[in-house]
Structure 1
Amino acid sequence: MTIAPPQPVAPTRRDFWPRRAWRRDRTSMAPRPTVLAAVAAGVVAALTLQVTVVGLGYVLTGGAVAAAVFATRRTMPTAVQAAAILGALALLAVLSVRGAGWLAAVCVALSWGVGSFALVGGRTWTGLAAGSFALWFTPLRVVRWTRRGARRWHATGTVPVGRVFGVAAVTVVLLLVFGSLFAGADAGFAALLGRAAPTVHVSNPFGRFVLGVLVCGGTLGAAYLLRRTPRVDALAPRPGHPVARWEWAIPLAVLDLLFLGFVAVQLTVLFGGNTHVLTTADLTYAEYARQGFWQLLAVTALTLVVIAVAVRKASRVEVADRVLVRVLLGLLCGLSLVVVASAIHRMSLYESQYGYTRLRVTVLVTELWLGLVFVLLIAAGVRLSGRWLPRAVLASAVGGMLLVAAIDPDAYVARKNVERFGDTGRIDVSYLGSLSVDAVPALDRLPEPERSCALYRLDREVRGDSEWYEYNAARSRAKELLAAHPVGSCERSGS
């Protein structure tokens, strides 16, 4: 009797996403218009996007991607999706108005998160976090999706996409060859052609090609997510089992008493201002401000953790339970707002004493935004419903960042330091020279030699010509101002 050798067992195919959140896709096919629009978005990115230079290319690429993803779909975006798309494009548009690199980085990152929300949605904290990473898990799905679409186009006898690209490439080559010959033969035609055709200077062709391919692939991934959307909220942890009332009410009550005692005993610390700093030994403005800021961060983390645990563990079936949740958590958030106000007060004292910097203004804005988050938490506690809270926090972050861009932080810092120099005669031109081109209009009002010392680096940064897709309003204005008032010699002694 011969025993057959054991057959190899096919490996089980595992997916990062549970099936309840994102089912496997074996049937959907990429529409031809979507693929062509994604290629067009990649071309726009390759020709206009400069990763190292803030400018118009970012919003142009973002608009091309949004059009390729949403305009090639038959159904119209919902009101929430439309608001998210506009918010993402508005954040990218900041890069064509402001010149601060740190502000551009934050706007691009937040635009990514808002754009991901427009694609996959999400009502929970877990859903919003998972949705922002969903695009990274689409490459294999997109390859199969596009391949199935190409097979369908070939089976239906329509024109293959490769032929379309071939014809487009031949057309471009013919236009370039014959256009350059005609331009060389007649100066008038060359001038007409120069005015009719936009100028696009392609530097680093290989890098731009890679960038175009990445944007094209990302656009296809975004289009796939919009059509085969994962249920990101299914990844959220299930509701916790309520515990007895005393098990959650006692810790919350004790924590509230601790906060009350801290606020009552430390009133002079929280609102003492100049008097408290000047009368307390070994206490500087720097320590005073940093204490408030780290207290704020600790209170924020504590409040968020406590609310998250309390919402999962506290029963809200009986009226007494609902009243206790509102009172205990509402008091905790209210006391947190007192600490927020104290931290803002401390930072304002620090800035009035030592001047304004980008970091100090950023910390102040962050504190204000966290105070708004506490207000939203209080509103959620009053309603005993926080389903709207994650989206509201995301919307507040977008609105807050656009408001920061409107305030123009670097210009604000420069303006305040110029005013302080007029009052005190003290200024740090080395730090002011490290700001972005947004600060040029304010620094241009300084007397010499402080003006030249502060603008020396910025003057070199704005020199040279730039392409139309690299347009930046702040850089353009700075270039005009420095051309009208050239930077002179810098005498750093005494600065």
Structure 2
Amino acid sequence: MLTVAAVAGAAAVAALSLPLDSAGIGWLITAIAAVVAVSLAGPAKVVAGPKPLVDRPLPRFRAEQAGWAAATVALLAVGTFRSAGWLFALCVVVATLTTALTLVAGRSMRSIFVAYLLPFLAAFRAMPWLAHGLSRPNRSGRIVATAAVSVVLLLAFGGLLASADSTFATALERLVPDLGVDTIFRWIFLGGFAAMGVGGAAFLRVAPPDVSRLDRTEGRKVHRWEWAVPLGLLTVLFGLFVAVQAVTLFRGDFGVQEYADEARSGFWQLSWVVGLTLLVLAGAARWAPRAEPADRLLIRVILGALTALTLVIAATAIHRIVLYTAEYGLTRLRLLVFCCELWFVFVLLLVLIAGRRIRAPWLPRLAVAAGVAALIGLAVANPDGMIAERNLRPSGDRPIDLSYLGDLSPDAVPALTGSDRLTNTQLICVLGRMNTGTMTMSDDWRSWNVGLARARVLISTHGNPTYDCTP
């Protein structure tokens, strides 16, 4: 009964609070309600009949699972403080991974991949499970009666209190939307979707699957030369590239602008090289034999050298993006790829550390945790504000791109209004370009966030412009 009520309550909170078209505090409220519902979920206790042959106790949350759950809530809480849609969308995607790791304790890359798929499958398996809980005698009637009494009490006393105080009536009007067809359809859609999601999470919470078999590496291995020869040749290729880069940098064949243009054309290729090399290293760690001392020596020498050279290539890519950004300005895409390159470097350092003992079951989870922490840190740093501050700094003859500044989210407004690099006319033009869309819409508590509220206050102090005069 408690599990069914908790899932139903979380689904009702999601239907009333979740804003699908924007970030906002409603996402945080929904996340907290879902966490509480899953924490309360448990198997039904046997109150009659013979004792069950198998007694499965409710598994306890480990510290690692609690950490992943906290990361999920933190990622969805970004919408409460930041209004940048691209940042919050990225946080929501990563939150699906941390949710899966909360429910299913995956360690290797294979088990993490399976753990990511299981919540989607469990959402369909949970429906008959919850329906079985409702099929017990008198439970359906009690739930319906409880819901009916709650609705009658809220309508009766809410109407009396609203008629007694106009301020409370205004607040109640903002909280309770108009009961139109679109609102009812939205509630049914969100409530049903949330019931499946939270129900699937509760199902995995009660009976988590054992994915430890996927963490084993004692599978089929290839011969030492089958992997050592191609990866050895790849190591030689990387060494030649690093040597050419060192000679070019030492001789100074390019000027600053010429090197920035060269960086623009080659940065993406270097990023792909680093990312694909991580996959190659993961495959080698899975299929390379390690039973004999010669095998372990080859792993340390070849994979160690390949990892070290890949670190140099990643550093080259970071150097190129830094030069290119200094010459042409910072954008969201450049900031994201810069953070990805730093994450690549961190993972490569972990690979070097893992090479000491060959076996490192902690590496995949630590790499994912580092990526999640980096994303949360990026949200705390306010990326759109960083971009605005960086592009307002003087840099040679490069003009300020007012159009791009006007396309940033309201999170950039404090940086724009606090800078002395913009004239009053330029500032009004940028603020007028930004003061459209969600900035001019009426307040909705579901999509309220700190960044948007602060931007509205700052824009109102500058005359609240609503026209775009940027080129």
TM-score by length of 1: 0.83
Query: How far did residue 258 of structure 1 move?
Result: 2.0
* 2:64 corresponding residue in structure 1: 80
Structure 2 distance, partners of 1:173, 1:213, is 23
Letter in 2 for 1:473: V
Q: Secondary structure at 1:387's aligned position in 2?
A: coil
Does the CA contact (< 8 Å) of 1:98 and 1:438 recur in 2? yes
Letter in 2 for 1:470: S
1:67 paired with 2:46, answer no
| Residue range with higher mean Cα deviation, 352-361 or 483-492 | 483-492
Structure 2 distance, partners of 1:69, 1:53, is 25
1:441 paired with 2:420, answer no
- For residues 74-473 of structure 1, what are the structure 2 equivalents within 5 Å? 75-151=59-135, 153-154=136-137, 159-177=138-156, 179-181=158-160, 183-184=162-163, 186-187=164-165, 191=167, 199-202=174-177, 204-234=183-213, 239-269=218-248, 271=249, 275-278=252-255, 285-305=260-280, 307-420=281-394, 424=397, 426-444=399-417, 445=419, 446-460=422-436, 461-473=438-450
Query: How far did residue 481 of structure 1 move?
Result: 0.5
Q: Secondary structure at 1:266's aligned position in 2?
A: helix
Q: Secondary structure at 2:433's aligned position in 1?
A: helix
Structure 2 distance, partners of 1:404, 1:208, is 33
Letter in 2 for 1:480: V
Does the CA contact (< 8 Å) of 1:450 and 1:490 recur in 2? no
Does the CA contact (< 8 Å) of 1:453 and 1:489 recur in 2? no
Query: How far did residue 351 of structure 1 move?
Result: 0.9
Structure 2 distance, partners of 1:475, 1:52, is 15
Q: Secondary structure at 1:383's aligned position in 2?
A: coil
Does the CA contact (< 8 Å) of 2:76 and 2:95 recur in 1? yes
Structure 2 distance, partners of 1:172, 1:392, is 47
Q: Secondary structure at 1:251's aligned position in 2?
A: helix
Report % sequence identity: 35
Query: How far did residue 454 of structure 1 move?
Result: 1.4
Does the CA contact (< 8 Å) of 2:123 and 2:201 recur in 1? no
Q: Secondary structure at 2:356's aligned position in 1?
A: helix
| Residue range with higher mean Cα deviation, 253-262 or 337-346 | 253-262
Letter in 1 for 2:260: Y
Does the CA contact (< 8 Å) of 2:235 and 2:306 recur in 1? yes
1:44 paired with 2:21, answer no
Q: Secondary structure at 2:312's aligned position in 1?
A: helix
C-alpha distance 384-165 of structure 1, shift in aligned 2 (>3 A): same
Consecutive unaligned residues in structure 1, runs of 5 or more:
1-31
Structure number, greater radius of gyration: 1
Q: Secondary structure at 1:262's aligned position in 2?
A: helix
Consecutive unaligned residues in structure 2, runs of 5 or more:
43-57
Q: Deviations over 1:153-172 (max 9, x none)?
A: 31xxxx41343233322332
C-alpha distance 229-198 of structure 1, shift in aligned 2 (>3 A): farther
Letter in 1 for 2:64: V
Structural RMSD (CA): 2.7
Query: How far did residue 61 of structure 1 move?
Result: 0.5
Does the CA contact (< 8 Å) of 1:456 and 1:487 recur in 2? yes
Does the CA contact (< 8 Å) of 2:435 and 2:465 recur in 1? no
C-alpha distance 121-413 of structure 1, shift in aligned 2 (>3 A): same
Structure 2 distance, partners of 1:182, 1:391, is 52
Letter in 2 for 1:67: V
* 2:463 corresponding residue in structure 1: 486
TM-score by length of 2: 0.87
Aligned positions, number: 448
Letter in 2 for 1:277: F
Does the CA contact (< 8 Å) of 1:34 and 1:68 recur in 2? yes
Query: How far did residue 319 of structure 1 move?
Result: 2.4
Structure 1 distance, partners of 2:8, 2:68, is 23
